[in-house]
Structure 1
Amino acid sequence: MYLGIDLGTSGVKVILLDNNDKIVDQASASLEVSRPAPLWSEQEPSDWWQATNDAIATLKAKNSEALSSVLAIGLSGQMHGATLLDDKNAIIRPAILWNDGRSEAQCKTIEAREPNTRSITGNIAMPGFTAPKLVWLKENEPENFNKIAKVLLPKDYLRFLMTGDFASDMSDSAGTLWLDVEKRQWSEQMLAATDLTIDQMPTLFEGTEITGYLNKDIAAQWGVNEVPVIAGGGDNAAGAAGIGVINPNEAFLSLGTSGVYFVANETYNPNPDSAVHTFCHCIPNTWHQMSVILSAASCLTWVTQLTGFKDEKSLLDEVEKLDFSVPSSVIFLPYLSGERTPHNNPNAQGVFFGLSHNTDAAELGRAVLEGIAYAFNDGQEVLMAAGTQIDSVSVIGGGSRSKLWGKILASVLNKPLSYRNGGEVGPAYGAARLAKIGANKVDASSVCVAGELVHVIEPDKTMSDYYQAQKRKYQQLYLSLKEHF
């Protein structure tokens, strides 16, 4: 049995995976995001730990025997978050999250201090990355900056509490802007550009390597033996391992809080100027490219609450009653937290365009689903403009439950979408698979296979035809409104 722990933005998910790749049990615990100022997004690391313990306790109550037979633990988590510890290993301040947009000016500072930033890291400096957050901290909270002994990514803070080790994996660390992504090592030049040193960084491991062992007290509390803890991966790389996207030109869409279009690569192939991310994969000697939209399923949650529906399914049921043989008059720009690919604009804002007296909640819901699909299309266009080949696309994340959304996405992207077992669980499933690889020292290709195909959603020709015009209108709306954000 293998335990996968995924620290997401909206909650912690844990799963038990058996030797036959079957999910035996799972549990979760929710998290809240604090937004104390415009563009800010923060969480208390202590809440991550409490949620992890709560989720494990749920598993223990339901399936203690399976938990006691766990052979290894894998970790995945939200990327880029700045988790800061002092010399006594105490948290200095709330963690600044991936969707925090306060450090736009500091991105320019980093690229001015280190002109080779894009060639070293394979990425354009963005406010979501970890490094600009630390420059902001030094400029705005110097007393906190001066206390920093270690900078950890969110899942690696859990690792520290579990094992006592300061460690991270290549895929998650690639999103800090401190990693030489091609060489898979910390860059002293990039650290110097933010007035930090390698001593303040965790030790680096490949995603399939053992970083330490669960300490005695936590093991007893959880009902687990003192098993190895595997490096794991950032949420997207772990999600790829979970769905078997580790071979060149394989891709997936992740419909989580944010949205990701992920393509695996066998070589390092950066394209930073289009705001495409190029990161290490959680599999050794493998890389990947991503286009990232900052708000995906979170937009659906938002419009559900806005329109007074009790849950997303209730709203989706109403949307399904609409006539999709004709285009909607309403277009939604899904920039509730700014945007990354391709705009790299933390100041971009959400917009409904085309409202009338006849616009109802279902039309707003449809516009949100379509707007997110248009944002994914923007990402697909810049990936393909960089020469990326996309042979197959799978769908993962909570949003993958909606077949209607799948039909919209397939029709906007004009690509068939595959849905596989394990897709809804996503990164936690991949984390458990990485635990299996690390504990047994087996080849990743024998474990990270594509899950059983559940169904394929093909593009609808009528919808694809009118989406060609709609998505261009969507792009023009952003350009016409950009100066007003």
Structure 2
Amino acid sequence: MTRPVDDVALGAAQDPLVLAVDVGSTASRGGIYDATGRPVTGLQHKVPHAFTVAPDGTSVIDPDQVTAEIEQIIDALTRDGALGTRIGGVAMDTFAASLVGVDAEGRPLTPCLTYADSRCAGEVAALRAQLDERAVHDRTGTRIHTSYHAPRLRWLARSDPRTFAAAAGWWSLGEYVYRRLIGVNAAGTSTAAWTGLLDRHTGGLDQELVEAAGARAEQFSPIHDVADTVRPAAAPRWPALAEARWFAPLTDGFASNVGAGATDPTVMAAATATSGALRVLLPGPARPLPFGMWNYRVDADRTLLGGALNDVGRAIAWATSALRLDGDLGRVVTIPPSPATPLVLPYLTGERAPHWAGDARAVITDVTAATDGAALFRATVEGIAITYARVAAELEPAAPQAAQIVASGRVSNDLPDWLQILADVLGRPVTHVTLKRSTLRGTALLALDVLAPSTPRAPRPTGATYEPVGGRADYYAERVARFAEVYDAVVGR
């Protein structure tokens, strides 16, 4: 266990400073970090937001709204005149797999489709019939799925052909924000990878997929590696950023691993926010690549191997609200497991890893007259842990060096004792990384690796390590098997 990363007063902060921004599923956040990776006291700002969702699979957000949030954050972080021009870099990550159609002037023609928008499920089936998905997976590291650009673009062409024909560009949310803020078209390597269109071996667009999507290569932004900063088209309106280098937009998954300290093949990171993931950074492309996993190229030398879950914090928030629970949720997750607990498949917005059923929906079964709200909540949390275990079962053979599991994110910080359930289901110790805003700090650290590579970083803060409890292995093995049985019967593959 290590002590938290202390804030540092501006006067004591080591230069260069970095202004980091994280656009997540529930809020945009920003903070100033010094060269050691410590947050500067009082220089953090948050603007909440929410996706617009609908039963048909819609999950969108207004890109201009997010741009205004980022402007508000930068205003708040740079108003202290004592900053001068000490900020050496600006870096931003966003939730991954976003898509905005724009016209020739860079104005939005569509809302921003988020990773959870599943309206293109029909196009997924059509593309899987048309293309060799295993060959696509080997080239791009991604499956054909509702989260990625190829089926989404096909769906837009079918559902709104006029808008599709008028689009001059297909950008991620981060690219859109940068165009509005500094007049630059730029995608980070990781951002391009999360489109599902990037060849993980070469770093270029996959032409077969681009053509299958009905798109053209020139509709996508130039791709920049982490070290390749971009020059604003005009001086930004913030004097404090006059000397800052701007880093092309990153994805939150890459930043989350770095913030949690999972920066080499020995450490597997469990992200536990609104959505979740299990990920490990590798030197180069994964070989072999399990068919249920993705392998994103994140820079010229590294790829990120893992699998994502749409519904972690989202499922917990839904259960808390729908079941009208106002008691001690910590007590519910710490009681011993019971065979009377129902079974929940927590697919509120579809499944990504390991089987990529974009139209999957939640299933609740094994309910009796004795089942109460607390039991259903416990079942939801167990179901979430089992979804992680299903990812781990495919991931581990491809990452044999990953002996350590670390967990970070809002869910682990708000409900840390749920990590005991995760450890019991995985059958492996799980260490809690207690740092708040770990993704935001990871974004700052990636910039600092370029700006101040020789400066020692503040240590990663950790809490308890949860060891599997003896005697629970058989219970959870039965739950995992029952989950698979219900999944195969209801969701299928």
Q: Give the structure-1-normalised TM-score.
A: 0.90
2:195 to 172, 176, 180: 176
Question: For residue 364 of structure 1, what is the aligned residue in structure 2?
Answer: 376
1:127 counterpart letter in structure 2: T
The offset of 1:58, in angstroms, is 4.3
The offset of 1:295, in angstroms, is 0.5
Whether the 8 Å contact between 2:189 and 2:225 is mirrored in structure 1 is yes
Superposed CA offset, 1:357-392 (max 9, x none): 332222222111111000000001111355654211
1:94 to 111, 121, 146: 111
2:489 to 444, 456, 480: 480
State yes or no: 1:432 paired with 2:437: no
Partner Cα separation in structure 2 for residue 204 and residue 30 of structure 1:
29
Change (3 A) 1:165 1:300: same
Partner Cα separation in structure 2 for residue 42 and residue 467 of structure 1:
36
Unaligned runs of 5+ residues in structure 1 are none
2:231 to 196, 199, 212: 212
Question: For residue 186 of structure 2, what is the aligned residue in structure 1?
Answer: 167
Superposed CA offset, 1:432-464 (max 9, x none): 112222334x37xx7789614333221222333
2:332 counterpart letter in structure 1: V
The offset of 1:315, in angstroms, is 4.8
Superposed CA offset, 1:405-447 (max 9, x none): 111111111111122353x31221111112222334x37xx77
2:145 to 88, 102, 126: 126
Whether the 8 Å contact between 1:179 and 1:190 is mirrored in structure 2 is no
2:388 to 376, 391, 402: 376
Partner Cα separation in structure 2 for residue 389 and residue 306 of structure 1:
41
Between the two proteins, the alignment pairs up a number of residues equal to 472
The offset of 1:214, in angstroms, is 8.4
The offset of 1:472, in angstroms, is 1.3
Whether the 8 Å contact between 2:289 and 2:398 is mirrored in structure 1 is no
Change (3 A) 1:406 1:159: same
Question: For residue 418 of structure 2, what is the aligned residue in structure 1?
Answer: 405
Partner SS, residue 29 of structure 1: strand
Partner Cα separation in structure 1 for residue 215 and residue 425 of structure 2:
44
Whether the 8 Å contact between 1:170 and 1:184 is mirrored in structure 2 is yes
Change (3 A) 1:149 1:90: same
Partner Cα separation in structure 1 for residue 126 and residue 242 of structure 2:
47
Partner SS, residue 90 of structure 2: strand
State yes or no: 1:470 paired with 2:487: no
Partner Cα separation in structure 2 for residue 478 and residue 156 of structure 1:
37
The offset of 1:226, in angstroms, is 4.9
The offset of 1:140, in angstroms, is 1.4
The offset of 1:9, in angstroms, is 1.6
Whether the 8 Å contact between 2:423 and 2:429 is mirrored in structure 1 is yes
State yes or no: 1:225 paired with 2:242: yes
Superposed CA offset, 1:218-243 (max 9, x none): 425xx543521112521111111222
1:225 counterpart letter in structure 2: A
Partner SS, residue 146 of structure 1: helix
Superposed CA offset, 1:44-70 (max 9, x none): 101211222333344456x66458632
Question: For residue 137 of structure 1, what is the aligned residue in structure 2?
Answer: 156
Change (3 A) 1:448 1:201: farther
Matches within 5 A, 1:342-353: 342-353=354-365
Change (3 A) 1:301 1:325: closer
Question: For residue 247 of structure 1, what is the aligned residue in structure 2?
Answer: 264
The offset of 1:176, in angstroms, is 1.1
Question: For residue 11 of structure 2, what is the aligned residue in structure 1?
Answer: none
Partner Cα separation in structure 2 for residue 36 and residue 60 of structure 1:
37
Partner Cα separation in structure 1 for residue 266 and residue 250 of structure 2:
20
The offset of 1:29, in angstroms, is 1.1
Partner Cα separation in structure 2 for residue 48 and residue 458 of structure 1:
40
Question: For residue 70 of structure 2, what is the aligned residue in structure 1?
Answer: 52
Partner Cα separation in structure 2 for residue 270 and residue 169 of structure 1:
24
Superposed CA offset, 1:243-278 (max 9, x none): 232212421000111110101211312666632111
Partner Cα separation in structure 1 for residue 401 and residue 332 of structure 2:
33
Whether the 8 Å contact between 2:315 and 2:346 is mirrored in structure 1 is yes
Change (3 A) 1:270 1:49: farther
1:234 to 243, 247, 251: 251
Partner Cα separation in structure 1 for residue 304 and residue 255 of structure 2:
12
Change (3 A) 1:68 1:147: same
Partner Cα separation in structure 1 for residue 306 and residue 113 of structure 2:
22
2:110 counterpart letter in structure 1: R
The offset of 1:35, in angstroms, is 2.1
State yes or no: 1:286 paired with 2:302: yes
2:211 to 175, 188, 192: 192
Change (3 A) 1:148 1:20: same
1:8 counterpart letter in structure 2: G
1:354 to 361, 366, 380: 366
2:465 to 456, 481, 484: 456
Whether the 8 Å contact between 1:35 and 1:42 is mirrored in structure 2 is yes
Partner Cα separation in structure 1 for residue 174 and residue 160 of structure 2:
24
Q: Give the structure-2-normalised TM-score.
A: 0.89
Change (3 A) 1:439 1:195: same
Whether the 8 Å contact between 1:244 and 1:448 is mirrored in structure 2 is no
Superposed CA offset, 1:101-146 (max 9, x none): 1212323444555544233212221111122111111111111111
Partner Cα separation in structure 2 for residue 458 and residue 136 of structure 1:
46
Partner Cα separation in structure 2 for residue 159 and residue 193 of structure 1:
28
State yes or no: 1:330 paired with 2:379: no
Partner SS, residue 30 of structure 2: strand
Change (3 A) 1:81 1:342: same
The offset of 1:81, in angstroms, is 1.1
The offset of 1:179, in angstroms, is 0.8
Superposed CA offset, 1:295-321 (max 9, x none): 1111111111112246xxx5524525x
State yes or no: 1:419 paired with 2:436: no
Identity %: 20
Question: For residue 30 of structure 1, what is the aligned residue in structure 2?
Answer: 48
Partner Cα separation in structure 2 for residue 329 and residue 9 of structure 1:
30
Whether the 8 Å contact between 1:12 and 1:48 is mirrored in structure 2 is yes
Whether the 8 Å contact between 1:374 and 1:412 is mirrored in structure 2 is yes
Question: For residue 13 of structure 2, what is the aligned residue in structure 1?
Answer: none
Whether the 8 Å contact between 1:214 and 1:229 is mirrored in structure 2 is no
